[in-house]
Amino acid sequence: MNIDLEHIRSYFKKDRFATGIGVEIDSVTEKCVTCSLVLNDSHKNSIDNVQGGAIFTLADLTFAVHCNLPWVCGEDVGVTVGQSCSISFLKSTRGAKLTAESICLSRGRSISVYKISVKDDLGMPIAEMLANSFTIQKSV
């Protein structure tokens, strides 16, 4: 697979919600995708912690990039969508930046499973997501 990071970033600029809150795609390989979010006051909730939705959005875009990598890189496999996910919020961050890393646990023709780990720039684990994807096969 020919991975062109700038092409991938350009493709996912269409994800206006995630990019609108500041999620950036940092690195992409077939085995691992890393995205990050520099935190600011707009990411805070009423008790001054990072909003769970901001953490979820970071993990979700990281998952979306990883499970759609073949499609975005030009393979004729069909687009992949999230089928289900579970996220556990482990602790609040005191850091200024969050980083999410996705690894594929199982890749099938239609259903795949990914683990996305979110840490802060202080090295603390913030959240863990387990996500299933479904590839919509292209019609012939």
pLDDT one-digit tens code per residue, 57-113: 999 999 999 999 999 999 988 899 999 999 999 999 999 999 999 999 999 989 999
Give the range of the structural domain holding residue 122, as residue numbers without chain letter. Answer: 5-135
For range 114-133, the mean pLDDT = 98
Token couple for 77: 């496999």
For range 40-45, the mean pLDDT = 96
Tally of CB atoms within 10 A around 104: 17
Half-sphere exposure of 26 (CA within 13 A, CB side): 17
For range 23-47, the mean pLDDT = 97
How buried is 115 (Cβ within 10 angstroms: 0-12 exposed, 13-18 middle, 19+ buried)?
middle
Instruction: Give me the number of domains the chain comprises.
Output: 1
How buried is 55 (Cβ within 10 angstroms: 0-12 exposed, 13-18 middle, 19+ buried)?
buried
Query: How large is the C-alpha radius of gyration of the chain?
Result: 15
- SS3 for 74? coil
Whole-number average pLDDT of the chain = 95
Token couple for 48: 């001054």
- What is the pLDDT confidence band of residue 1, given thresholds at 50, 70 and 90? confident
Token couple for 126: 């913030």
Whether residue 83 is contained in a domain is answered as yes
Whether residue 140 is contained in a domain is answered as no
User: In this structure, what CATH number is given to the domain that contains residue 108?
Assistant: 3.10.129.10
**Residue 126 scores a pLDDT above 60:** yes
DSSP state of 137: P
- pTM (predicted TM-score): 0.95
122 or 109: which carries more pLDDT confidence?
122
**pLDDT attached to residue 138:** 65
**pLDDT attached to residue 140:** 41
For range 22-37, the mean pLDDT = 98
